[in-house]
Amino acid sequence: MNYKKANRGYLYMILSTIVFVILLSLWMIRTGGQPSITVNNGLSELVMFLPPFAMVLYYGEKLSVIIPLRRVKLSSFFMTLLYSVCLFPIATLANAISMLFVDNTVVELSDQILSLPMWQMLISIGLIGPFMEEIVFRGIFLQSYQRTGRIIGSIILSSVLFGLMHMNFNQFAYGTVIGIMFALLVESTGSVLASFVAHAFFNSAEVITMYLSSDLLEEAEQYLPEMSELTQQLISIGIYFVLAVIAVAIGLCILYKISEIEGRKDFFINIPKSKKQGYKLITASLIIAVAIALAYMIGIEFLSSLV
């Protein structure tokens, strides 16, 4: 698809998400019930996935082009896992900064998550979510935007839209950051399969950590020196800033090596010099979609402050 069609697809995605939230809320009010987090996650991912994928089929796009899933070499696969480890400090930094202003969304859902077996969460959050999200954002959107020749703009825009898709400011912050890192991995390999591996590894590690550390954190808090919450947050931000700088530097070196292995070194190192073809990437439909998403996110934060 071209960038205009991709932007319309994103608008349809946001509208579908809003409609889904409204219908789910009405169902919960009427029945007094609540779907399990696995069902909710599955339906949310499906609502996100269907609009842009349906547009790909409607416009007759070749799936192997718009969603490049070429195999990567075994050495690249293991280096991708190592690269995934480098994402944790910068994601944690973005999360910590966002928590100066908003609550941690995942922590608020931790009770629901931990009430279910770990294997269910690994399938839901560790596999299904990353697969659908990578197909859409590092596949359909990134590849569509890159047809303008604006490689850097495509990486940034597709990543910002990925962050907005989460529909809350906390996940928007670190979603955008790791979205950029996933997109760079796709550029170094030429395959969405690599970003799926990284995304699945990242999410699965987060799930496992949540299950294993829930009791340990409670015990550790008893031995921490007394200090204000803001002071703790600022100290954490300082520590993770240093770790993030180091991890990102290592991650970029890993990407360079992967690009060599996959025969894409020249393309990867020349991304900053990529030629632009005069397209702006931003259209009216994208502006409307972003405005709706931001309005929803602001509304959720306002309502949360009243509770």
Mean pLDDT taken over the chain? 91
pTM over 0.95? The answer is no
Question: b/e for 260-299, b at 16 or more Cβ within 10 A?
Answer: ebbebeeebeeeeeeeeeebebebebbebbbebbeebbee
HSE of 130, CA atoms in CB hemisphere, 13 A? 24
- Please report, for the chain, the start and end positions of each structural domain, with discontinuous segments joined by +: 3-306
- Across 105-109, 162-166, 219-223, 227-231, the highest mean pLDDT is recorded for 162-166
HSE of 83, CA atoms in CB hemisphere, 13 A? 31
At 252-281, the pLDDT tens digits run 999 999 999 999 999 999 998 776 666 789
At 35-63, the pLDDT tens digits run 889 999 999 999 999 999 999 999 999 99
SS (H, E, C) the chain: CCHHHHHHHHHHHHHHHHHHHHHHHHHHHHHCCCCCHHHHHHHHHHHHHHHHHHHHHHCCCCHHHHCCCCCCCHHHHHHHHHHHHCHHHHHHHHHHHHCCCCCCHHHHCHHHHHCCCHHHHHHHHHHHHHHHHHHHHHHHHHHHHHCCCCHHHHHHHHHHHHHHHCCCHHHHHHHHHHHHHHHHHHHHHCCHHHHHHHHHHHHHHHHHHHHHHHHHHHHHHCCCCCCCHHHHHHHHHHHHHHHHHHHHHHHHHHHHHHHHHCCCHHHHHCHHHCCCCCCCCCCHHHHHHHHHHHHHHHHHHHHHHHC
At 217-236, the pLDDT tens digits run 555 555 556 667 778 888 98
